[in-house]
Structure 1
Amino acid sequence: MKLSSKALLALAISSITATAYAETQSQDFVPTTLAGTSAQSEAKGFIEDFSLGGTTRNWYSHESKYRGGTFEYKKHGETRTDRNRTNWVQGTILNASSGFTQGTVGVKTELAVYNALVLDRSKRDIKGGSNRTLADSNGDAVDQWSKLGLANVQFRVSNTTLTAGRQNFSSGIVDTIGNRALPSSFEGVSFNSEEFSNLSFQGGVFDRVSPRTEQSLSKFRSEYGNGAETDKVSTLGLNYQPLKSLKTSIFAANVKDFWNQYYFGATHELGDSSVLGLTTGLNYYKTVDEGKKLMGEIDNDTYSLSLGLTHQAHSLTFAYQAVNGNEYFDYLHETNGIYLANSLTSDFNGPNEKSFQIAYAINMAEYGVPGLKFNAYSARGWGIDGTHYTGNGGRAKFAYDGIQSQDGEKHQEYGVGASYAIQSGPLKATGIRATYVEHRGSEFQSDGSIKEFRLVTTIPFNIL
């Protein structure tokens, strides 16, 4: 998936690993001026700029629960339990994209077919349906399935584009998530305007999500809630770079009958990484209930602050995160709308939770092996307290069932990873990533105790 400039900004804001620069980062002010060129004036034509390509991803994961935790599956109508779960899927995206037509108003179309081939089809291994392997009502893997992942038409005037249909979208609240064999996408209308040199605007209205491991479209629901659904998500925001060293992002979203959510993110670079560079990241969310309050009464402030030190190939990052609210910090399921520094295997987002992370990364390009990187991290969360949660104003229905039992809960997580990107040849840009993560939670902490090894290989290809 090709990331837009807005997606790259979003990743920069959410990153907790300092970025290396070849020279001292300028702190100069960046004046806001009209963009120097018009993207539409450089359009090559509908056919002339046509492209056909995509990616194929081999996605393998093995999980093991411990300290009494188990997965469930059914065999001959009988429920059985097992500590282990394995998912192995090959996901392929074939993307056909035209160029923009020439003229004042350019028109473009994009169509992408998503296909999943299940390589491990054992009912015992996959443990029924999940967002990893698609299974039928009996818990048997759907061996192979396809769908339209993207199908949209785009209209462009100058540097402003309107997109209608099934599409990717990236912001701090509504963001395509791609951490499985196939990514999610959204059905609706959005715009992206880059008419100024350092200021852009972005927004959209969506009524359906195309999940990572489902063939059909679904209504939106929350990641941690009671399964309630909504069919309208509206979001609007801007990205602004006031200094060469400072990037900011502000977004708001209305999730009909769920909540209103507001996001601010900033990342600042200082110094010279050949000596010592400092990257500071701030992410803040405000969430309040809205409309019919299907997720109950919500008043939640959540933030993270990260400080990353970089010296040549090495980076060391410290991140603190806090949830101020008697419910989870929640976000939309099948999105990556959580740009918090300590969102790892666990999101560290329990009611009133505080967490701290230390991360280390090394880029082996400095030692003659470009494309090879290693990382390790350790995170701890404490003070989880849901005893003051009252759901829908004290009524019987609770959006977050079981949260009241969390009283002083704590957990810890650590992980190590290695990645390599092939630098040349027919497999150039192929990425291989291996990670091992272990998470341990106290008795009522929601994530439990689990270990996971994951191996992911992503190969891009171009046909035309």
Structure 2
Amino acid sequence: MRRTKTAVLAMSLSGLSAMAQAEPASQDFVPVSVKSTSAQSEAKGFIEGQSLSGSTRNWYARERATRAPMWKYYKSDGTQHDTHSRDNWVQGTILNYTSGFTEGTVGFSTEVAAYNAIALERGRAAVAGPNNRTLTHSDGDVIGQWSKMGLANVKARVSNTTLTAGRQSMDTPVLAYIGNRALPSSFEGVSIRSEEFDNLSFDIGTFDRLSTRTEQGTSKFVAEYGDRAFEADHVNIAGVSYQPLKSLKTSFYVSNVEDLWNQYYFGASHELGDSAVLSLTTGLNYYKTKDEGKSKLGDIDNDTYSLSFGLTHQAHNLTFSYQQVNGNEYFDYLHDTNAIFLANSLLSDFNGPNEKSMQIAYVLNMAQYGVPGLKFNLYNARGWGIDGTHYKSTGYDVRGLDDENHYEWGIGTTYAVQSGTLKDTTIRATYTAHRASKAQADGSLDELRIVTTIPFNFL
């Protein structure tokens, strides 16, 4: 279970409200046309275009298991003990330097970001490590402070096409950084992003290492839900994003996770109407996953999709989402990434074998009532029909799942400072409850999470 998605969910739901148009969404066709301007022709120079910025995030999470113990911790004598609770409190700081692009037909630039984490909660029993929230030694002893180079890359740009080599951040449906902890993950490799057209862009890349959210070094890619003893030496991706209508955005991506799987994604988002009266946002996400190469995780044949309908009236947004997994294994994605662009990926991913799930969510934007920057959200999601009894391979532990079910609800609020010295500072508080049948893997727990992020700029 990825107990990491609550803040991301809340932000995405809030985003639905922000996306609503102040006037009726145009249904006009957008022809494919070459951009009239070139980003490289406007390059200011290596020094002239440089920037130095960053952020500091105070990240606190309090979890309590409501049924059986869900975590373990080591005492100083080396004995391991079960616990019903887990508390993590970390201060994460990012300092990012980005140069400008040099002038000329081909421009060069560099990006370097230093990451630092300070553990504010250091008790072994409280942290219940090792886990991917607070960095600890193998015996669970907390590392009080640690740093690493989170990003380190060079870029070459021609016109509106940029090649990036080194440690970088990616955000695609098949490979995406995850940034909902004190520090985000990143990837090592080479990628190309081309935006030569007004409504059409391309991505291609190859990566061989992952820098996780709570790790000083790097590691190879592994599955989030499959047997992590099996690693992929390379992850290759390619994709296109296309906006055929002013109101319609689409994307198609493929990934090759060497000797684990090939994955294909199609997504579309359409807006209709006027949010001052009533607007409808429709979202479709579909993944096809098949085993590849040496098939280290065994046979995989998985079709998973989600369909959502969001209604917006002024300050109010109501969203209904349905999601279904067609396959005898989990719908899977890469560990410590956010490459699961599905509507019901919440505290639980609702991605069990053959699982069906439904969610209803509500967002209130208080800007309409004179308090810009303040939003509230709540949701309820239920999953049923989880069945792994027909699974024939060995890469996933699902055979004990027979008609399992679970449900989840959450409530949260976000405030973004609108002006002054702390402008764009965000404070986010969420409370989430998850309840599961006996064999459902995510368990029964409550979580309180409070996250404050303060951005800053030096150049």
TM tier, shorter chain? over 0.9
Query: Which residue in 2 is equivalent to 1:316?
Result: 318
Report the TM-score, using the length of structure 1 for normalisation: 0.95
Name the CA distance, whole Å, in 2 between partners of 1:460 and 1:217: 26
**Cα deviation, residue 12, structure 1:** 7.8
Query: Which residue in 1 is equivalent to 2:130?
Result: 129
Are the counterparts in 1 of residues 113 and 149 from structure 2 also a CA contact under 8 Å?
yes
Q: Deviations over 1:324-371 (max 9, x none)?
A: 000000000011000000000000000000000000000000000000
| 1:61-460 alignment runs, 5 A limit | 61-75=61-75, 76-227=77-228, 228-391=230-393, 398-401=394-397, 403-460=398-455
**Cα deviation, residue 375, structure 1:** 0.1
Are the counterparts in 2 of residues 224 and 330 from structure 1 also a CA contact under 8 Å?
yes
Please give the secondary structure, in 1, of the residue aligned with 2:259. coil
Name the CA distance, whole Å, in 1 between partners of 2:217 and 2:194: 30
Please give the secondary structure, in 1, of the residue aligned with 2:295. coil
**Cα deviation, residue 19, structure 1:** 2.8
**Cα deviation, residue 14, structure 1:** 12
Change (3 A) 1:79 1:124: same
Please give the secondary structure, in 1, of the residue aligned with 2:126. helix
Name the CA distance, whole Å, in 1 between partners of 2:333 and 2:128: 26
Please give the secondary structure, in 2, of the residue aligned with 1:250. strand
The one-letter code sitting in structure 2 at the alignment partner of 1:155 is A
**Cα deviation, residue 419, structure 1:** 0.2
Are the counterparts in 2 of residues 13 and 267 from structure 1 also a CA contact under 8 Å?
no
Name the CA distance, whole Å, in 2 between partners of 1:209 and 1:451: 30
Please give the secondary structure, in 1, of the residue aligned with 2:19. coil
The one-letter code sitting in structure 1 at the alignment partner of 2:412 is G
Are the counterparts in 2 of residues 18 and 308 from structure 1 also a CA contact under 8 Å?
no
Please give the secondary structure, in 1, of the residue aligned with 2:140. coil
**Cα deviation, residue 15, structure 1:** 6.8
**Cα deviation, residue 138, structure 1:** 1.6
Q: Deviations over 1:70-118 (max 9, x none)?
A: 3211111111122110000000000011000000000000000000000
Identity %, equivalent residues = 65
Query: Which residue in 2 is equivalent to 1:20?
Result: 20
Q: Deviations over 1:423-461 (max 9, x none)?
A: 000000000000000000101001010100000000000
Are the counterparts in 2 of residues 16 and 306 from structure 1 also a CA contact under 8 Å?
no
Report the TM-score, using the length of structure 2 for normalisation: 0.96
**Cα deviation, residue 235, structure 1:** 0.2
Query: Which residue in 2 is equivalent to 1:59?
Result: 59
**Cα deviation, residue 13, structure 1:** 12
**Cα deviation, residue 69, structure 1:** 3.0
Structure 1 range deviating more: 182-191 or 74-83: 74-83
Name the CA distance, whole Å, in 2 between partners of 1:20 and 1:320: 21
Name the CA distance, whole Å, in 1 between partners of 2:365 and 2:418: 14
Name the CA distance, whole Å, in 1 between partners of 2:225 and 2:43: 44
Are the counterparts in 2 of residues 61 and 453 from structure 1 also a CA contact under 8 Å?
yes
**Cα deviation, residue 271, structure 1:** 0.1
Please give the secondary structure, in 2, of the residue aligned with 1:41. helix
Are the counterparts in 1 of residues 130 and 139 from structure 2 also a CA contact under 8 Å?
no
Query: Which residue in 2 is equivalent to 1:4?
Result: none
Q: Deviations over 1:8-47 (max 9, x none)?
A: xxx9899766732110000000010101100000000000
CA RMSD of aligned residues (A): 1.3
Name the CA distance, whole Å, in 2 between partners of 1:259 and 1:196: 31
The one-letter code sitting in structure 2 at the alignment partner of 1:60 is Y
Change (3 A) 1:384 1:320: same
Q: Deviations over 1:229-248 (max 9, x none)?
A: 11200000000000000000
**Cα deviation, residue 463, structure 1:** 1.1
Are the counterparts in 2 of residues 96 and 112 from structure 1 also a CA contact under 8 Å?
yes
Change (3 A) 1:308 1:273: same
Are the counterparts in 2 of residues 14 and 340 from structure 1 also a CA contact under 8 Å?
no
Please give the secondary structure, in 1, of the residue aligned with 2:192. strand
The one-letter code sitting in structure 1 at the alignment partner of 2:148 is K
